[in-house]
Structure 1
Amino acid sequence: MSMRWAWARWCFIVMLTCAAPAAPDWLDCAHVAACRCKWASGKKTAACASAGLRRPPPLPADVQVLDLHDNPLRSLPRRAFAAVGLLNLQRLNLRATGLRALHADTFLELIILVEVDLADNDLATLPKELFRGNDRLRTVILTNNPLTALAADQFPPLPHLRMLFLDGCRLRTVDAHALRNLKALETVDLRANQLTFLRLVTFALPALKTLTLSGNPWRCDCRLREFKDWFLESKLGTEELTCIEPPEHAEKNWRIVSSDRMMCAPEVRSNTLVVRADLGSPATFGCWVRGVPKPRIDWLFEGFDIHNNTIDSNLEETETEIEDDDIEGGASGSARWVNVTIVNVTASTAGEWTCLARSAAGEARAIISVVLPRSQQATARTAPGIPQLLGVVFGALGILATLGFLAAVACWRLRRHRVPPSRSFTDQEKRLLDASVVVSCDRSIAEMASPCDFELTERSLSLGEEGGRGCTFEPVHITIEGSGATGGGYPPPPAEFAVPVPYGNIFISVQVSGPGGEGTKYPDLLGGGATLPRRGRTCCTAPAYDNMGPRVTATGSSTWSLPSEGATVGASAEVEIEASASPVTGLPPPPEFVSL
């Protein structure tokens, strides 16, 4: 029976084994050719290093260790691993993957993650909530990333984080509260950074056992003094630390630098550069001072100590200490505000005030100017605009003057075209009237197209050439009188003698010597009122006279030699010309008037 029972039992087990479906084999890495899955240190491990991957591969969910070392990932988005089903990861190697940016929720939902290696990447900043939800995280490696600062609460609460590696970065500042959420932190590696000082409060961690600080350019002054004393007493490190600055402590070991000699020169900053005050009212101003040892503060007015001045009784001074945590890089008890109040502002308190801080490490100062409001004057606001206003006014006047000049020129040119030029006697013309006219008739009929030549002389001549054409001219006596003349027996001038202003009427009478005896008057000359000789088309055959109507001459008298028909050669007559000085209105002159 026992034999039969054992045989039946074996057959049942074989049947169950054959009937059960085959379990998935995680060792094939879900057919991801770039990865190789294996057991390592008792963990299911997927080795995908240097596989050219740009994102986490979709591996089996059983994978506990993922090695993506030396893949060009560049950046990782939100839920980068949970999105491909890798929720059981415990260790994650992302070293040298070219990472420049990480989403704050990159590792979200990896609740059993224990170690993350982000060394040798290009991470300049870290999101504050980068490891939110990774409560079992124990080791974070950030070696050789260009991180320059750790902000307050840089890491979320990680109750199991034991080791933090920040060596080989470029850290210059670490906030006093950067690590306060890491209560279980035991090891911090800050080697080979750019740190010049650290605060004691930053590493006031209950579980801290190892702190590595070598390779930083430590400045051994007042800011480092408190931390240096604590670190040397804490036994957190055995390495030798060396001062780089200031010059008096350069290349000295921390242990041989006296804390009393680790001083900071005073620093002074004013709360304002200019204080505008009103007469009779109070004014308050001050300065911020820091330094170790604690500097002494003196107030100067116009370069002189206020305690040696009469304004001292008009002042009130107050000081306020400032907590170290409120000042970046501050030293214990070194920072404070020093204020001055001028109880009653007067003209004698307006000027330059100086906050002077002095200590054994040096001195510093800040200058504050107290000014009074300017006196209000009516012209104060308009004075700056007067030159511009004058420029506009003179510019407008210049434009108007230019336009007026152009208009005047245009009008003058227009009148010049419309009004005939004025013709009046000149002295030369008057002398011509007094001259004798000698007519040369030595021309042929073909030359009659132009008048005979006249030769003016200073005496009366009678022309007649022997052997010529037989032309003889006698002097004619002509008297020209104005219409206003009362003497003489001449009839009044006819209506055509009336000419426009400024000319007057001219009356002409002619007296020649002829057959009728001396003084005979020619009726055609007297009846017409005024005649003057006009030469005909031929010099000798045409009548010597024609009725040409009145002639207008200038004021004066002259003697002319005029031809007389049938006159005897050698006869002479005097010509008297008199012009009326008074203008007479009347009919316009006929077209044949000659205007000289």
Structure 2
Amino acid sequence: MSMRVSWARWYWIVIFTTCTARTASDWLDCAHIATCRCKWSSGKKTANCASGDLRRPPSLSSDIQVLDLHDNPLRNLPQGIFSNIGLLNLQRLNLKATKLRSIHADAFLELRILIEVDLADNDLSVLPRDIFRGNERLRLVVLSNNPLTTLISDQFPPLPHLRMLLLDGCRLRTIHTKSLQNLRSLETIDLRRNQLTFLRLVTFSLPALKTMSLSGNPWRCDCRLREFRDWFLDSKLGTEELLCVEPTTQAGNKWRNVPSENMTCAPEVRSSTLVVRAEVGLAVSFGCWVHGIPKPQVMWLFDGMNIRNNTIDCDMEETDTIVENDNSEDRVPGSVRWVNITLLNVTSSVAGEWTCVAKSTAGEARAVISLVLPRSQTATARTAPGIPQLLGVVFGALGALAALGFIAAVACWRLRRRTVPPSRSFMDQEKRLIDASVVVSCDRSIADMASPCDFELTERSLSVDNDQPRGCGFEPVHITIEGTPGIFPPPPAEFAVPVPYGNIFISVQVSGRNEPTKYPDLLSGGATLPRRSRTCCTAPAYDNMGPRVTATGSSTWSLPGASCENPEPSETPVLSLPPPPPEFVSL
């Protein structure tokens, strides 16, 4: 029984040893990546993959603590690039000269025990805000020799263990006063060989700071640098000699050899506006922005004359302006102020050029403001019209419209008289009847059924007298009027029946009578057209209009007062009609 237990124990010991040895040798194989060499170095599991032409970090064992990717063309680091391949135990990361142009803000996310990162000699011109977020154990960050131009506010997240920040050889021109505020344990900062002309003292209010390297920058020894220079020389943070490059009066001088009172800034003046518009009798205010160290004196000139020597009623007021601790504004806090002037009663005599002049031992500056008044304009007051005036306007307008309407009506009437024939009271059916009874063409063929002459020949089978000429001539038409005086028999019953013919209105002139009272009433009786004589067609019993009936049933008109026994002779024979056929023409 004891032998079995001992054999089982040995079996598990051998299995465990074999697995442990195999696991221990896995990271040494570097995942069989030919360009990487894995070994122990300074007690750390190190993977050296330098100059391996790698485009991205290799997938190595998660046991790797130090990864050297120096001189590989990585170009960019996306989000979570190292945590995604399981390299969560990295403590040191060398990315020097890897041609990096961009880094995601979370590229190093989840590398919680990362201590050192080297990003020197790359092409980084911008660092994302809060880079190294999640890397609270960082102690060293190297950003040397990158084309960085500025450090923005909160450039770095809280890194309580960061001791050293190297920014030498970059192109830094400005450093925001709050860019380093989360690095409370920072002891060393290297800013050599940048493009810095001045620094703010508040930027480096770091309690653990011990060393600053500032040489190789084009320092401008004026009022903007004076406060920081005085603090730096007293702090003993550096031992190197710093030289002034600007202004020209201080070029080549060492910081310690330039007196503070000589580090001045010439006055600078800006007007609040170029043109001020004012109203006569009212107050108006305007001002100028003044900067300079030492504090310049400010005065106002009106048309070149000092207003203190003038009788202009005005008030002057100076207000200090707080400059935020922002490197985008390179003015010294407390050195900027507004100088305002208020004219209490504007008149035409104060319109013109107002000049703000600032003077100090460092120089003089001016700004001009033009005060203009509105042009005077003459206006005529207008009163609202009363009701009588309003009614007069309304009736006047209506009268004008009526006159225009009358003129238009007269013009249209005259135009109609000129262009429209007087006899236009015929309807279409009447026109056809008149045309059929008057207009005859005897030169048409028998096939033209539209001709009245041909219609008559066809319907009544009349023969054409070849001896008669074929011209269409008509004899004069005469109307014989006769009848009993004062008696007008009613028209026949046929005329009371609706017929498809229209009325034909004719004008009859009766001559040879001297008594107007004996003229017949042609509108209350019946009337017919007499038959016409034709020279081109054979004279039928009736013409092509058919028989016509008068009130007495004959083809003559009954004239009141006429005698039936002794009719007066007439040049036109009286026409008598045979029994009328059923067709009638109503006039």
Query: What's the secondary structure of 1:248's corresponding residue?
Result: coil
Shift of 1:322: 2.3
Tell me the equivalent position of 1:115.
116
2:19 equivalent to 1:22: yes
Post-superposition Cα deviations, 1:128-161, rounded to whole Å, max 9, x if no partner, equal 1211111111111000000111112211111111
Cα distance in 1 for residues equivalent to 2:147 and 2:377: 60
Cα distance in 2 for residues equivalent to 1:367 and 1:85: 67
Post-superposition Cα deviations, 1:417-439, rounded to whole Å, max 9, x if no partner, equal xxxxxxxxxxxxxxxxxxxxxxx
Q: Residue type matched to 2:57 in 1?
A: P
Tell me the equivalent position of 2:168.
167
Cα distance in 2 for residues equivalent to 1:326 and 1:287: 22
Q: Residue type matched to 1:30 in 2?
A: A
Q: Residue type matched to 1:335 in 2?
A: V
2:56 equivalent to 1:60: no
Tell me the equivalent position of 1:43.
44
Post-superposition Cα deviations, 1:228-270, rounded to whole Å, max 9, x if no partner, equal 1110110100011111111121111111111111111011111
How do 1:89-238 and structure 2 match up within 5 A? 89-238=90-239
Bigger mean CA offset, 339-348 vs 185-194: 339-348
Q: Residue type matched to 1:19 in 2?
A: I
Tell me the equivalent position of 2:345.
344
Residue 34 of structure 1 contacts residue 48 of structure 1 at CA under 8 Å; is this kept in 2? yes
Shift of 1:376: 4.3
With normalisation by structure 1, the TM-score equals: 0.60
Shift of 1:18: 2.2
How do 1:447-466 and structure 2 match up within 5 A? none
Distance 1:98 1:28, change over 3 A: same
Shift of 1:33: 2.2
User: Which blocks of at least 5 consecutive residues in structure 2 are unaligned?
Assistant: 380-587
How do 1:499-538 and structure 2 match up within 5 A? none
Cα distance in 1 for residues equivalent to 2:355 and 2:87: 67
Q: Percent of pairs identical after alignment?
A: 65
Tell me the equivalent position of 1:514.
none
Distance 1:60 1:346, change over 3 A: same
Bigger mean CA offset, 242-251 vs 342-351: 342-351
Query: What's the secondary structure of 2:287's corresponding residue?
Result: strand
Residue 177 of structure 2 contacts residue 325 of structure 2 at CA under 8 Å; is this kept in 1? no
Query: What's the secondary structure of 2:354's corresponding residue?
Result: strand
Tell me the equivalent position of 1:72.
73
Tell me the equivalent position of 1:315.
314
Cα distance in 2 for residues equivalent to 1:132 and 1:324: 31
Shift of 1:32: 2.1
Cα distance in 1 for residues equivalent to 2:306 and 2:159: 57
Post-superposition Cα deviations, 1:265-291, rounded to whole Å, max 9, x if no partner, equal 011111211112222222211111111
Residue 317 of structure 2 contacts residue 339 of structure 2 at CA under 8 Å; is this kept in 1? yes
Cα distance in 1 for residues equivalent to 2:106 and 2:215: 33
Shift of 1:15: 2.1
Post-superposition Cα deviations, 1:480-537, rounded to whole Å, max 9, x if no partner, equal xxxxxxxxxxxxxxxxxxxxxxxxxxxxxxxxxxxxxxxxxxxxxxxxxxxxxxxxxx
Cα distance in 1 for residues equivalent to 2:332 and 2:169: 27
Query: What's the secondary structure of 2:308's corresponding residue?
Result: helix
Q: Say how many residue pairs are matched.
A: 373
Distance 1:51 1:353, change over 3 A: same
Cα distance in 2 for residues equivalent to 1:326 and 1:36: 50
Q: Residue type matched to 1:280 in 2?
A: G
Cα distance in 2 for residues equivalent to 1:326 and 1:186: 23
Residue 51 of structure 1 contacts residue 71 of structure 1 at CA under 8 Å; is this kept in 2? yes
Residue 118 of structure 1 contacts residue 143 of structure 1 at CA under 8 Å; is this kept in 2? yes
Q: Residue type matched to 2:59 in 1?
A: P
Residue 137 of structure 1 contacts residue 160 of structure 1 at CA under 8 Å; is this kept in 2? yes
Cα distance in 2 for residues equivalent to 1:152 and 1:376: 56
Post-superposition Cα deviations, 1:79-134, rounded to whole Å, max 9, x if no partner, equal 11111111111111111111111111111111111111110011111111211111
Cα distance in 2 for residues equivalent to 1:84 and 1:261: 59
Post-superposition Cα deviations, 1:517-558, rounded to whole Å, max 9, x if no partner, equal xxxxxxxxxxxxxxxxxxxxxxxxxxxxxxxxxxxxxxxxxx
Cα distance in 1 for residues equivalent to 2:241 and 2:230: 14
Query: What's the secondary structure of 1:88's corresponding residue?
Result: coil
Query: What's the secondary structure of 2:28's corresponding residue?
Result: helix
Distance 1:366 1:32, change over 3 A: same
Shift of 1:17: 2.7
Cα distance in 2 for residues equivalent to 1:213 and 1:186: 15
Computed over aligned residues only, the root mean square deviation of the Cα atoms, in angstroms, reads 2.1
Cα distance in 2 for residues equivalent to 1:274 and 1:184: 53
Q: Residue type matched to 1:185 in 2?
A: L
Tell me the equivalent position of 1:256.
257
Residue 55 of structure 2 contacts residue 74 of structure 2 at CA under 8 Å; is this kept in 1? yes
Residue 27 of structure 2 contacts residue 38 of structure 2 at CA under 8 Å; is this kept in 1? yes
Shift of 1:12: 6.0
Shift of 1:13: 5.6
Residue 176 of structure 1 contacts residue 325 of structure 1 at CA under 8 Å; is this kept in 2? no
Q: Residue type matched to 2:318 in 1?
A: E
Distance 1:156 1:377, change over 3 A: farther
Shift of 1:182: 0.7
Query: What's the secondary structure of 2:249's corresponding residue?
Result: helix
Post-superposition Cα deviations, 1:402-459, rounded to whole Å, max 9, x if no partner, equal xxxxxxxxxxxxxxxxxxxxxxxxxxxxxxxxxxxxxxxxxxxxxxxxxxxxxxxxxx
With normalisation by structure 2, the TM-score equals: 0.61
Query: What's the secondary structure of 2:324's corresponding residue?
Result: helix
Tell me the equivalent position of 2:476.
none
Structure that is richer in strand per residue = 1
Residue 130 of structure 2 contacts residue 154 of structure 2 at CA under 8 Å; is this kept in 1? no
Q: Residue type matched to 1:22 in 2?
A: C
Tell me the equivalent position of 2:369.
368
Query: What's the secondary structure of 2:19's corresponding residue?
Result: coil
Distance 1:9 1:335, change over 3 A: farther
Residue 62 of structure 2 contacts residue 89 of structure 2 at CA under 8 Å; is this kept in 1? yes
Tell me the equivalent position of 2:243.
242
Cα distance in 2 for residues equivalent to 1:92 and 1:283: 66
Cα distance in 2 for residues equivalent to 1:158 and 1:326: 23
Tell me the equivalent position of 1:86.
87
